[in-house]
A and B are shown apart, each in its own frame.
Chain A
Amino acid sequence: MDEHAFAHDVLPGLLDLDAGPPDANLVAAYVDGALPEAERRALERRLRVDPEAMLLVRALRADRRRVKVRRAILAVAAVVVAAVGLTTLFTRRDDPSPAVGERLVAAAGRLRAEAPDLFEGFTPLSADELRGGDVARRGGGRVTWPVGVLLDEPTEVRYEAPTGATRVRLAIDGPAGRSVVEGANGRVETPPLRPGSYVVRMTALDALGAQEVRAAFVVLAPDAARRHLDALARIDAAGGDLAPLLRAHYAVRQALYREARAAAQAASPRAPDEARALLAHIERLAPGAP
């Protein structure tokens, strides 16, 4: 007999050969594991031969599992929410307090109004900006200084060598052409780098595979540097107790990382949380800033 004939001729009859629906109390107790052994065995015999009862029990058990899983997920979620809440509570100290943040914004607004030529578009960094992700590092190494904008001529380059490398070559391209130096201990001296734009290419000399890391920085000419120095002086004069913080925010916005680090360190006694956030941000961008 093929499947079709079996399904048509035999199966309907077989499915009708049962003793009626199982008792609801027995089914409920069975699903919850509360039946004594004799009753459990009797019901299980019934379930083995009655597909409809089998389906019912499977469905009730699935629902029971679903409730258990949902409760477990809710319990885990509650723990996660509590952990996030605690984490937020503890990390909140690193975010500028709302009061300080609002005062910084107001002070920046006053500076923009009073000296638009110096402070046009200046706003303090937001909490999200300060939390910004890690700077991507290609090849595992990076030039840590000079980075950003410099008010005077640097005389050294600091770097973190690529993984596995002990010697690096640094090619510094600037207004006067290219100079090449080799380094082995994270720091090389350079001749004074005069005002202009520079690109540093660092190549590992002894690591596996060719790895090149690039960095760029600008050395400001005296008059351009003067504008920033004037802006910083104005902040010192008008910032009051917020001056170091405001100075640090301004310097970060202008990529003056050396000045920013100094100002953030100066702000630390009065505003430790805000200063810590700024220093962490500066460390990400310019870890070698003196």
Chain B
Amino acid sequence: MPDPALTPRSDVAAAWRAAYDDGRRAHPDLDVPFASFLGRRVGAPLPCATGDYYLARACEGGSDGAWARVQHTLERPLRAFLRRRGASRDDAEALLEEGWGALAAPPPSGGARTVVGTYDGRGSLQAFVATVLWRRLCDRWRAKAAAPPPGPAPETVPCDDDPVRRLADAETARVVGDALEDAWPRLTAKELQAVVLKYRHALPQQAIASALRVGAPRVTRLLQSAARRLRDAVAARLSDVPAVGGDGDAWAALRGAVARILARTDVDGASAPAQRRSNDG
């Protein structure tokens, strides 16, 4: 009896067949059986980047020459991508070296033999791999961070299970989130990157300067202008922040709410931000 996963409806089957033929034309020397191209996911979205998807399936199936082709095609643009995103020359080379291994390893979430086997072909393979490498770059920055991120350490904040306070904190997070939603897109790319490197990855000033290819004084100015705009955006919504327990200082309430949310995240067992890793290796 044929596997239902491999016998989708005829119109969908025709579309997949066309995508398969298209991919095969892009890589005629790589052998990928149609069943492997189809995968085991009924209702999976049809790949748009058929050539890339075919190549990824060839890697997943272990076709001779497939991995070499991926590396040959993507190594140079990925290196340039990492360098432009602020990776040092050494970091970029190391990430590429590790990245190929990570792509060939089984994914933590399962569902495929390799991480590249989880690629669904809707976007380009280059963007997919760039995203994987980007996360590894962020992890590398976190690992290099000399000190924990500034601000109150979550473990010093007493865990508070008061449901009223939980609701208020959630509301606070929503208000702040709305305020920042307007503010983040208004930052320039360099301001955004400086803020993320400083306040999420806790990189020292000089490391941020190297990553952004600017001088240290410029980093200071970028952080100041970004902080000013974010602060103003949040300040505009401060009146909406619940001030629980008669605490009339909305900033204090905000600070407290953020710290409590972080503390609950650690206690509840969800991955803490500092230990977060990408899902694909």
Contacts and interface: CB of A to CB of B under 8 A. Distances in A.
Nearest to A60: B127
Contacts of A129: none
A6 interface: yes
B168 interface: no
B138 A59 contact: no
Contacts, number: 166
Nearest to A67: B77
A50 to B, nearest CB: 8
B269 interface: no
Contact of A55 (B48, B152, B193, B251): B193
A11 B259 CA distance: 11
A222 interface: no
Contacts of B118: 25
B92 interface: no
B184 A8 contact: no
Interface in B181-226: 181, 184-185, 187, 189, 192-193, 195-196, 199-200, 223-224
| A contact residues, range | 35 or more
Interface in B88-137: 118-120, 122-125, 127-132, 134-135
Interface in A1-56: 1-18, 20-25, 27-32, 34-35, 48-49, 51-52, 54-56
Nearest to B115: A24
Contact of B132 (A2, A24, A30): A24
Contact of A15 (B125, B135, B199): B199
Nearest to B127: A28
Given A16-B262, A18-B273, A31-B127, A25 B81 contact: no
Given A56-B134, A63-B80, 16 more contacts: A5-B251, A12-B199, A13-B258, A16-B149, A20-B279, A24-B131, A24-B278, A27-B131, A28-B123, A31-B124, A32-B49, A52-B200, A55-B196, A58-B189, A59-B130, A63-B77
Interface of A: 1-18, 20-25, 27-32, 34-35, 48-49, 51-52, 54-56, 58-60, 62-64
10 contacts: A1-B251, A7-B231, A10-B234, A12-B199, A13-B258, A21-B276, A25-B120, A29-B123, A35-B122, A58-B192
